[in-house]
Structure 1
Amino acid sequence: MPKVSGFTEANVPDQRGKCFIVTGANTGLGFEASRVLAARGARVLLACRDKGKAEIAMAQIRQATPRADLAFLPLDQADLASVRTAAELAAKEPRIDVLVNNAGVMTPPLMRTKQGFELQFGVNHLGTFALTALLLPKLAETKGARVVVTSSSVHRNGKLDWDDLNAEKSYSRFGRYSASKLANALFFFELDRRLRAAGSPVTALGCHPGAAATDLGRYMGALQLLLPLARVFLNTAAMGAWPTLQAATGPVTPGGYYGPTGFREIRGVSGEASRSSEAQDPAVAQRLWDVSVAMTGIDPGLPAVTS
């Protein structure tokens, strides 16, 4: 398809009859994407840990769209059992058109998931990998279905420490965050390759919000104090959701990556974004895929691409 640039929420087409799952939908980019999708007539499942926060978010969306078709989907990506339950509940929907993998954590102190994985790798990548894998059969029932994976421009700084993925030897908040975002980029790259090779009707895409003013950086300590001054240079959460919306609803290239088109992809309207060479390395992507299957015990069932 031809290149598309200049995408904003105003470009999101009518979505009546479609169903979207948005993870981490009660705040930030996930909330803004859910708001726009609901306004365009979609059914939106807000996949969140906290039911109360999800209900507040749904009430806020309904202030602008009183007849919004919304539902809460309990999901804690720090617990693979919760991921399995969420996938089972979601699969009961008549159809799922798009899974928007938005949920994530950023630069917390060393913490672990329910299964003992380092939190950022466990939530940002392994939880996303597992949920996507479990929902692929349901998504494949709908022609034109999409999987959207949220990465970040900091994936360029990411290094996967294959000998210490679980941070048992060392831990750097920013280093592990960057690594998890590289994993996100590698995942949708490899997922796209395998889906296309298998002739699947599902399309895999990636996006990043640039530098958006959200509460994702709640663990950034004193740096958070500078956020009010920095907001003038950042995307708002609504603007940061534009690449998500483009990947989920706009004209796209299979395997495409979308983000802000302004200075250094920090802010601005959405369009095609750039990736590091490592984020598109088939050998690294396949290695991560195999490791992810082993760590989660969940296999998407898509054979490796040999060429």
Structure 2
Amino acid sequence: MSLYRNAVWFVKGLQEYTKAGYEAAAKRFVAADLDVNLSGRSFMITGANSGIGKAAALEIAKRGGTVHLICRNKERAEAAKVDIVEQSKNEDVHVHLLDMASPRHVWEFAESFQQNNSLHVLINNAGCMVNQREVTEDGVEKNFATNTLGTYILTTALIPALKKSQDPRVVTVSSGGMLVQKLNVDDLQFEKGAFDGTMAYAQNKRQQVILTERWAAQHKEIHFSSMHPGWADTPAVRSSMPDFYEKMKNKLRTEAQGADTVVWLAVSAAATTQPSGLFFQDRMAVATHLPLAFTRSTPADKDRLQEALEQLAYKFKP
């Protein structure tokens, strides 16, 4: 089955996820959707010092939004801020240092942030793909800690702040790679069998899509969406998937093309005419399963995912 899923997914990717796929899809985009003034609106973007996160931050800053860059590395974060301010002519760009793999720090940051700041839109973009199984100092597998648990805690902790805002949104940058994975609640931290970093990442991205659907059902006041940026030429792709990058580098999207749907979901009025909880690619809601791939989960398994995350997350709450 995994061979079938991977083959179907790769063919789909060659047609849709490449730069050519973006250019074909862009013919139906409505340019006016992004013609917005974002002054007075506050945006938080995790993993914002490079790649898709930085490209999205720049587009939002250009339109006058207040931008909060959430980054691990102070030097790279400050350099990204200087670059964004210079290109956007918007001084309202702020750096916050946070490692999304540290659940305690994510809780502490979220609590402290909302005491001093309003928030209209959260963009969960930070992610990692570690190819050898690593455990954080808290004893949590690193991919899961960053991609799933960190995203779960930050979103959960900031929901009260979002609910106080007008037109609040949460956009989670997932991946089309999740289409090859069925949710496996019995092994969330990849303790069984041989470890495969690419599949661990895809499993985390499936978890993010399911969480987006659950949050949308539970918090009607907030518009939730997840999305696939396509195959983009980012530092993360170069470092985590060097073989894939070498084979595909001439077909990859630019960072701005990868970020386009993130920005559209975060700022356009058109995005919120779509139901909350959907998965998007190139400004369109798309299926979350490949045909005949048997990747659908039962409602009970989705419940178990959320319960397991809640249990683990609150263990680390200060």
1:169 Cα offset (Å): 2.3
- Pair 185,47 (structure 1): closer, same or farther in 2 beyond 3 Å: same
The 4+ residue runs of structure 1 with deviation greater than 6 A are none
1:166 Cα offset (Å): 1.9
Within 1, Cα distance between the matches of 2:99 and 2:296?
26
- Pair 179,55 (structure 1): closer, same or farther in 2 beyond 3 Å: same
1:63 equivalent to 2:86? Answer: yes
Q: What is the aligned-residue RMSD (CA, Å)?
A: 2.3
Within 1, Cα distance between the matches of 2:32 and 2:131?
31
1:67 Cα offset (Å): 3.0
Which residue pairs with 1:166 in the alignment? 189
Which residue pairs with 1:294 in the alignment? 311
- Pair 287,121 (structure 1): closer, same or farther in 2 beyond 3 Å: same
* Selected match of 2:147 from 120, 124, 127: 124
1:140 Cα offset (Å): 0.7
Which residue pairs with 1:145 in the alignment? 168
1:177 equivalent to 2:201? Answer: yes
- Pair 80,279 (structure 1): closer, same or farther in 2 beyond 3 Å: farther
1:174 Cα offset (Å): 1.6
Q: Write the mapping of 1:32-43 to structure 2, written as runs, cut at 5 A.
A: 32-43=55-66
Task: Indicate the percent of aligned positions where both proteins have the same amino acid.
Answer: 28
Which residue pairs with 2:284 in the alignment? 271
1:231 Cα offset (Å): 3.3
Amino acid at match of 2:206: L
Amino acid at match of 1:204: F
* Selected match of 2:246 from 213, 219, 225: 225
Within 2, Cα distance between the matches of 1:115 and 1:7?
46
Which residues of structure 2 form unaligned runs of 5+?
1-27
* Selected match of 1:45 from 68, 80, 83: 68
- Pair 29,174 (structure 1): closer, same or farther in 2 beyond 3 Å: same
- Pair 150,280 (structure 1): closer, same or farther in 2 beyond 3 Å: farther
1:236 Cα offset (Å): 0.8
Amino acid at match of 1:146: R
Between 1:214-223 and 1:62-71, the stretch displaced more is: 214-223
- Pair 66,284 (structure 1): closer, same or farther in 2 beyond 3 Å: same
Amino acid at match of 1:164: D
The answer (yes or no) to whether the contact 1:20–1:43 under 8 Å persists in 2 is yes
Between 1:157-166 and 1:243-252, the stretch displaced more is: 157-166
- Pair 168,257 (structure 1): closer, same or farther in 2 beyond 3 Å: closer
- Pair 140,161 (structure 1): closer, same or farther in 2 beyond 3 Å: same
The answer (yes or no) to whether the contact 1:107–1:220 under 8 Å persists in 2 is no
What is the TM-score of this pair, normalised by structure 2?
0.82
Q: Write the mapping of 1:243-258 to structure 2, written as runs, cut at 5 A.
A: 243-250=261-268, 251-252=270-271, 253=274, 254-258=276-280
Residue 71 of structure 1 aligns to a residue whose secondary structure is strand
Q: Write the mapping of 1:12-27 to structure 2, written as runs, cut at 5 A.
A: 12-27=35-50
1:111 Cα offset (Å): 1.3
The answer (yes or no) to whether the contact 1:24–1:102 under 8 Å persists in 2 is yes
Within 2, Cα distance between the matches of 1:208 and 1:281?
23
1:46 Cα offset (Å): 0.1
1:61 Cα offset (Å): 0.8
The answer (yes or no) to whether the contact 2:62–2:89 under 8 Å persists in 1 is no
Between 1:210-219 and 1:272-281, the stretch displaced more is: 272-281
Which residue pairs with 1:186 in the alignment? 210
1:245 Cα offset (Å): 0.9
What is the TM-score of this pair, normalised by structure 1?
0.84
Which residues of structure 1 form unaligned runs of 5+?
261-269, 301-307
- Pair 221,232 (structure 1): closer, same or farther in 2 beyond 3 Å: closer
Which residue pairs with 1:259 in the alignment? 281
**For each residue in 1:215-246, what CA deviation from the matched residue of structure 2 results, as whole angstroms up to 9, or x when unmatched?**
222122444433xxx23322111100011112
- Pair 12,104 (structure 1): closer, same or farther in 2 beyond 3 Å: farther
1:280 Cα offset (Å): 7.5
1:202 equivalent to 2:215? Answer: no
Within 2, Cα distance between the matches of 1:259 and 1:128?
20
